[in-house]
Structure 1
């Protein structure tokens, strides 16, 4: 039986990708007590890298926001894997940390990461209201546009 969050994803017409495997000497998530730490997620969809380049240069703000949405879906996919498929065990999305690959004069980092924040809010409602940082980076792994990590409170 699908839970409330799975039903909400379906209602929004969203599907989750397969949780990406770690690409280095780390794991995709760590559970510690009632917290779940999700490693930085990039805009990769079932093994296919999407949204490469600098936002505000190679990519538009809107393309950056879409990259952030893909990152958010990967965060949720990692959480689903960590919670044995039960997303209803998420008590709160506590914090997102967002990095935007952009030129030095780009200043709309928060607007880019809003792509993830708004999606998290749409899916989780009040439980999705989170603290956050959004900052620019001169480069990101694989030249992706965005990377986002998360801290999640779980039951």
Structure 2
């Protein structure tokens, strides 16, 4: 078990198997020491987390959905590192998409669910640049989708 997975276990988190793509794309692309992870959608216990912030979902539910996206991102990083999560150097950038109404303005609070979790799990290596944007809808009606760029060794 990697040091990162030990820390995740202390937080009560077990990484799932890396989710497979739902369409014609690859889950990640390695280029040099960077791994670009395709958008990970909000899932909990194998079920989609559906909803629209500002309509039928509140910020705390969206924050939890974003955390689940971050867990999937780390699962993809582990796959990109051939199972050795200790190769992860840092989180470089996240782009978070929030399925929300036109008047919803707390996208950053929702995506904090991913950002806060990554810092808690990885310490300073989890600090990253970020964008948090609204989307009129997301694939399959999910609440949140997050893509990321990670530096590995």
Please state which band the TM-score falls in when normalised by the shorter chain.
over 0.9
Q: 1:98 aligns with which of 96, 99, 106?
A: 96
- Is there any run of 5+ residues in structure 1 with no aligned partner, and where? none
Equivalent residue for 1:72? Answer: 70
Per-residue displacement from partner, 1:71-97 (whole Å, max 9, x unpaired)?
A: 000000001111111111111100000
Listed as ranges, the matches of 1:112-131 within 5 Å are 112-131=110-129
Equivalent residue for 2:60? Answer: 62
- Is there any run of 5+ residues in structure 2 with no aligned partner, and where? none
Moved over 6 A (4+): none
Listed as ranges, the matches of 1:6-155 within 5 Å are 6-45=5-44, 47-49=46-48, 51-155=49-153
Deviation at 1:46, TM superposition (A): 5.8
Is the Cα–Cα contact under 8 Å of residues 18 and 45 in structure 1 kept in the other structure? no
The root-mean-square deviation of aligned C-alpha atoms, in Å, is 0.9
- TM-score w.r.t. the length of structure 2 is 0.97
Q: How many residues align?
A: 153
Per-residue displacement from partner, 1:90-132 (whole Å, max 9, x unpaired)?
A: 1110000000000000000000000000000001100011000
Is the Cα–Cα contact under 8 Å of residues 28 and 78 in structure 1 kept in the other structure? yes
Is the Cα–Cα contact under 8 Å of residues 63 and 113 in structure 2 kept in the other structure? yes
Between the aligned partners of 2:44 and 2:79, the Cα distance in structure 1 is 16
Between the aligned partners of 1:151 and 1:140, the Cα distance in structure 2 is 20
Partner SS for 1:9 = helix
Is the Cα–Cα contact under 8 Å of residues 5 and 14 in structure 2 kept in the other structure? no
Is the Cα–Cα contact under 8 Å of residues 30 and 38 in structure 1 kept in the other structure? yes
